[in-house]
Amino acid sequence: MHIALIGLGKMGANMARRLCRGKISVVGYNRSPEIVTELADNEGLQPASSLADAVEKLPKPRIIWLMLPSGAPTAAAVDELIELLEAGDIVIDGGNSNYKTSCSHGEKLAQHGIGFIDAGTSGGVWGLENGYCLMVGGRAEHVKLIEPVLQVLAPASNKGWAHVGPIGAGHFTKMIHNGIEYGMMQAYAEGFALLQGKSEFDLDLAQIAELWRHSSVVRSWLLDLTADFLSEDQQLDDIEPYVADSGEGRWTIDEATEQGVAAPVLALALHMRFASQGKADFGNKLLAMMRQSFGGHALKDKTS
């Protein structure tokens, strides 16, 4: 099986490693060439100097897997591939693209007879060791053709990947997955904050996290990771309370609004990330001023 992997960031590079170790022949291209050289030297990846070079090094039908940032970088690669590929070839977008954009990409490529698959990919930096969860959208015959690749990337050949529907369904499923992830993370954060705040009990957060990992209804991989870092540091004094959002949480709430489906937990989790980024600061200042104005309550300035 031959495939080109375009975009060798943290996740893309580990996917290349897993594919090479699984006896998939991988051609790799990345804008920064250092990782290409490393993978070529250590994993047997076939290096490419450009997207065109990667295509040239593949047998037909050519399969190109994109692991690029969503938006303009992915769109530019799709446009370039239209000029480089021909009918029967397949493009896979494994990044965090909006499912509506994926539908558009599929339509554009189909006009040239080129197949398109959107593969929502979860697993993060642990995917190399544990495998990736792959939520795949596309035509059945195209998905069938790339099954060997999916089976190597997944935790096992028969689990951890699924053809969930037509083009767009893969990234739609991943979008909702990430929205749920936001809510779960926020619930854990709030719960452990309450545990930490009960100072008179002197609770051992690492002990409790480890306890909950076994037979509790709230056990999960997120809890496993939480238990790991709490075992090293329960105060987190050196951590800035800033949580980024990748965009998929916003898309999930947009979808809830479009469907008219209530998703208050997911929405609040997203809004709490905004608050952590300082986007609640001005509103909180206004609240303090209003409280002072009607009740005469003292204001707390930055020096107090």
Return the residue matching tokens 């893309």.
12
DSSP 7: -
For residue 276 the two structure tokens come to 């952590």
Q: Phi/psi at 237 (nearest 5 deg)?
A: -65, -30
The bridge status of strand 115-122 relative to strand 133-137 is antiparallel
User: Which of 38, 43, 147, 181 is an active site residue?
Assistant: 181
| Pick from 182, 178, 181, 174: nearest CA to 273 | 182
DSSP 225-254: HHHHHHTT-SS-TTS-S-----SHHHHHHH
The span from the CA of 247 to the CA of 267, in Å, is 13
Active site residue 181: yes
Residue 159 DSSP class: B
Cα 53 to Cα 13: distance, rounded to the nearest angstrom:
18
Taking CB atoms within 8 Å and a gap of at least 24, the contacts of 54-57 are 54/4, 54/6, 54/27, 54/28, 54/29, 55/4, 55/81, 55/84, 55/85, 57/4, 57/27
Name the active-site residue from 174, 232, 279, 285.
174
- Residue 27 C-alpha from the chain's centroid: 23
DSSP classification of residue 57: T
Residue 57 designated active-site: no
Is omega for the bond preceding 61 within 30 degrees of 0, making it cis? yes
**Residues with active-site annotation:** 174, 181
